[in-house]
Amino acid sequence: MMLSTNTKQKTLGLLVAGLTDRAVATRLGVSERTVQRYVRALMEGAQCRNRMQLGRHAALTGLPVSEPVPAPSGRTPDREGRQLLKALLDDACEEALRSLHMSRRSLERRIKDLMTMAGAQSRVELGWRATLWGWV
């Protein structure tokens, strides 16, 4: 699917802002399924395999944002949290489960904790913020 530059920027900007696919669809005036196609096209174009990688790609390519997002003062992930972020950004979730001795449920809980720490509403936003702030 070929997306216009404007559609790419709007979609990625809304995802980085933490909106769900449904909310992005409402903002863009398209269906949720169309947004999922947009996300897949964005991921393919950026050679990303998951949404966190898409967030990192947005940060590394300098996605324009309306306001800078300051890192939470004094709060950074511990060693295990950084390992987990790195594994997720490297698309090595199964390896993370083994090396960190976590169940899938514990992994999901830890991701939610990292999202809370970062003030992120989505994995795309978490990948973007973690990259901007040098957490990974």
What CATH number does residue 11 fall under?
1.10.10.10
CB 19 within 8 A of CB 27: yes
| pLDDT at residue 72, as a whole number | 73
90 within domain boundaries: yes
Query: How many angstroms separate the CA atoms of 117 and 94, rounded?
Result: 23
Domain check: are 89 and 56 in the same one?
A: no
Query: Which structural domain, as residue segments, surrounds residue 95?
Result: 79-132
| pLDDT at residue 40, as a whole number | 95
| pLDDT at residue 130, as a whole number | 92
97 within domain boundaries: yes
Domains identified in the chain, total number: 2
| pLDDT at residue 75, as a whole number | 80
68 within domain boundaries: no
18 within domain boundaries: yes
Query: How many angstroms separate the CA atoms of 133 and 125, rounded?
Result: 12
| pLDDT at residue 67, as a whole number | 57
Query: How many angstroms separate the CA atoms of 56 and 31, rounded?
Result: 25
49 within domain boundaries: yes
| pLDDT at residue 66, as a whole number | 54
Domain check: are 9 and 55 in the same one?
A: yes
67 within domain boundaries: no
H or E element: which one contains 28? helix 21-28
Mean pLDDT by 10 residues, the chain (136 residues): 84 91 95 96 92 92 68 81 87 75 86 91 92 89
Distance set, CA 87 to CA 41, 52, 76, 99, 117 (Å): 23, 10, 17, 10, 18
Tracing tokens 């947004």 back to the chain, one arrives at 35
| pLDDT at residue 64, as a whole number | 61
